[in-house]
């Protein structure tokens, strides 16, 4: 089976993370996770990136982890594998820029965990989103249980990861798992850049601090730190002077 590849393209202030496989069936192997981790680290170093989309070509967004890779794992190897995925997805979630998962097909298991590590999820109506790990004698291991519970609430999240039953794109939208729904992959390709542009008025430094506060539940520290940022002075001055703000690239 041809392995899935991941590539990064940066155009101006937007970064695109693209997964593709010749067969169209994208699968997250340990090597692919490490490659994704290197890309996430590069995006963090690129101070001009304000938005990033996670996209895929083919029949699925991401089918999940490579089951063949896990069949001979010992408990220690399983824990180490989960740790790799958790670290990469935690780094993705901690990026200071806005992140958007563009789900053009099924996002199952680790694929849904990948999407959950993004700030927002846009999907086509025909997409399937689920965590089928329990049907394989496994559980989600890359932070998906916690992120799903935070997003949907404990009871709804349990229904998803304890049954293994997937949701349709429309069902996922109705319960808040998906933020926007479109009719086709072509519509999705057009909608992603428009969605990303809707955050242009926001200060990059403020976005980074607000994201941090949502993760660690410490708004007091993040609010105080705003006043150590040039964007804070610029934003308030621009408001008082009734002019557009001119933002810096990020936290200073």
Q: How many CB atoms lie within 10 A of CB 27?
A: 24
Contact between 97 and 51 under an 8 Å Cβ cutoff? The reply is yes
The question of whether 234 is a catalytic residue gets the answer no
Phi-psi region of 74 (alpha: psi -120 to 50; beta: other; left: phi over 0): beta
The question of whether 83 is a catalytic residue gets the answer no
Catalytic residue among 11, 22, 69, 113: 113
Catalytic residue among 57, 133, 234, 249: 133
- Which of 175, 149, 66 has its CA nearest to residue 111? 66
Q: How far, rounded to the nearest angstrom, does the alpha carbon of residue 7 sit from its chain's CA centroid?
A: 15
3-state SS, residue 124 = strand
209/222 Cα distance (integer angstroms): 6
Q: Which residues are catalytic?
A: 113, 133
């Amino acid at each position: 089976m041809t392995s899935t590849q991941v590539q990064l393209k940066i155009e101006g202030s937007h970064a695109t993370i693209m997964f593709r496989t010749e067969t169209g069936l994208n699968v997250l192997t340990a090597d692919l996770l490490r490659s994704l981790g290197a890309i996430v680290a590069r995006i963090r170093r690129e101070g001009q990136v304000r938005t990033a989309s996670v996209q895929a070509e083919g029949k699925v967004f991401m089918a999940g982890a490579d089951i063949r890779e896990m069949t001979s794992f010992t408990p220690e190897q399983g824990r180490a594998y989960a740790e790799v995925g958790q670290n990469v997805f935690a780094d993705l979630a901690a990026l200071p820029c806005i992140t958007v998962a563009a789900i053009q097909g099924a996002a199952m298991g680790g694929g849904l965990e990948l999407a959950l590590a993004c700030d927002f999820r846009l999907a086509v109506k025909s997409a399937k989103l689920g965590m089928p790990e329990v049907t394989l004698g496994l559980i989600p291991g890359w932070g998906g249980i916690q992120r799903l519970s935070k997003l949907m609430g404990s009871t709804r999240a349990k229904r998803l990861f304890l049954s293994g039953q997937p949701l349709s794109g429309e069902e996922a939208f109705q319960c808040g798992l998906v933020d926007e729904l479109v009719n086709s992959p072509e519509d999705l390709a057009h909608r992603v850049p428009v969605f990303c542009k809707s955050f242009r008025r926001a200060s990059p430094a403020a976005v980074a601090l607000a994201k941090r506060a949502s993760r660690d539940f410490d708004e007091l520290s993040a609010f105080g730190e705003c006043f150590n940022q040039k964007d804070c002075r610029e934003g308030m001055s621009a408001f008082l002077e009734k002019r557009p703000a001119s933002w810096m690239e990020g936290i200073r």
